[in-house]
């Protein structure tokens, strides 16, 4: 799906029986939603991303995790252990809080899911109620999004994946950032947070903002366990100011500020579909499409 200047759908294409209303598993694009919810809470002065997460997670007081800031959680530099696979039947919040510290906060970048799940605790205690209700009231309803969140066995909303969304809803999320946090003339998200989210959050990985991927010329770390480092933009042919919500199986929502353009991709209908992430033909088509899109945008 391609959207120009926040209002014109330049093109919209779907496979098989999919329609603009079809919801699919968004995988880790949910991470960018989580960043947005934290940003909304900060805009409403319910928290500050530079304060300690232990102000809300009292269980961390007196532990090696006490000094972790909310910003470090958002930038994947908290140093927390990563063993969470997102078992829908487990209490993932309890697991995430108690899993422990691996490295000193702020000294290492590692892509995790555990990091994100503790933000459910932070948000719940900061807003004084259900995170799902907060998300519906302050994000889904104002933007007219039809997406659906999932909860685990402990009734905790998943913060790193397990949500159903559409190309149109992902485009709305990106548009909120292209409009510096405004929607229908209301400042839902502060311009300061939007800038933070779209700026390199750490020298450890200059292509990562606050739960949004970037496309800068500096260091890039992979999402693998050993987090290999390379130098240069993630997408060589794309503009350097682009930002992106990324999920497994080719889910992507890209924003291009200079061009005031949005491009979203989705593929499987359900979690991993019947055959992993889909057919080889879909994979080939998406790869070719992505390369061509970057050439045209740049």
Lowest-pLDDT range, 75-79, 119-123, 279-283? 279-283
Rounded CA separation 44/279 (Å): 44
Mean pLDDT of 205-212: 97
- Sheet of strand 251-256, all strands in order from the earlier edge strand to the far edge: 8-11, 2-4, 261-265, 251-256, 243-247, 213-214
Contact 239, 259 (CB under 8 A): yes
Rounded CA separation 73/1 (Å): 31
> Is residue 35 scored above 80 in pLDDT?
yes
- pLDDT band of 274, cuts 50, 70, 90: very low
Token couple for 159: 């913060």
For the segment 103-131, what is each residue's pLDDT rounded down to a tens digit?
999 999 999 987 899 999 999 999 999 99
pTM attached to this predicted model = 0.92
What 8-state DSSP symbol labels residue 289?
H
pLDDT of res. 227: 67
Q: How many domains does the chain have?
A: 1
pLDDT of res. 228: 73
- Range of the structural domain that residue 190 is part of: 2-297
We report the CATH number of the domain holding residue 26 as 3.40.710.10
Token couple for 181: 């946090």
Partners of 230 in the beta sheet? 220
Token couple for 20: 């603009």
* Residue 29 or 250, more confident: 29
- pLDDT band of 183, cuts 50, 70, 90: very high
């Amino acid at each position: 799906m391609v959207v120009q200047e926040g209002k014109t759908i330049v093109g919209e294409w779907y496979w098989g029986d999919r329609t603009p209303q079809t919801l699919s598993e968004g995988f880790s694009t949910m991470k960018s939603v989580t960043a947005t919810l934290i940003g909304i809470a900060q805009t409403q002065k319910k928290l500050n991303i530079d304060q300690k997460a232990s102000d809300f997670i009292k269980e961390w007081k007196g532990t090696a995790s006490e000094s972790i800031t909310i910003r470090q959680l958002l930038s994947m530099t908290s140093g927390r252990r990563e063993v969470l696979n997102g078992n829908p039947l487990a209490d993932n919040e309890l697991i995430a809080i108690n899993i422990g510290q691996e490295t000193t906060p702020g000294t290492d970048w590692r892509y995790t899911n555990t990091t994100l799940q503790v933000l459910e605790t932070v948000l719940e205690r900061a807003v004084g109620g259900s995170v799902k209700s907060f998300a519906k009231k302050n994000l889904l309803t104002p933007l007219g999004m039809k997406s659906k969140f999932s909860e685990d066995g402990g009734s905790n909303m998943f913060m790193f994946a397990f949500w159903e969304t559409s190309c149109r809803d992902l485009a709305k999320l990106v548009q909120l950032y292209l409009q510096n946090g405004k929607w229908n003339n209301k400042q839902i998200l502060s311009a300061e947070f939007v800038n933070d989210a779209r700026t390199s959050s750490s020298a450890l990985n200059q292509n990562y903002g606050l739960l949004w991927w970037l496309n800068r010329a500096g260091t890039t770390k992979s999402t693998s366990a050993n987090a290999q480092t390379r130098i240069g933009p993630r997408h060589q042919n794309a503009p350097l100011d682009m930002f992106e919500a990324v999920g497994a199986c080719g889910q992507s929502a890209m924003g291009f500020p200079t061009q005031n353009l949005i491009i979203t991709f989705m593929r499987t209908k359900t979690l991993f579909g019947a055959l992993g992430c889909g057919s080889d033909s879909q994979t080939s088509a998406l790869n070719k499409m992505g390369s061509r899109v970057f050439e045209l945008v740049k």
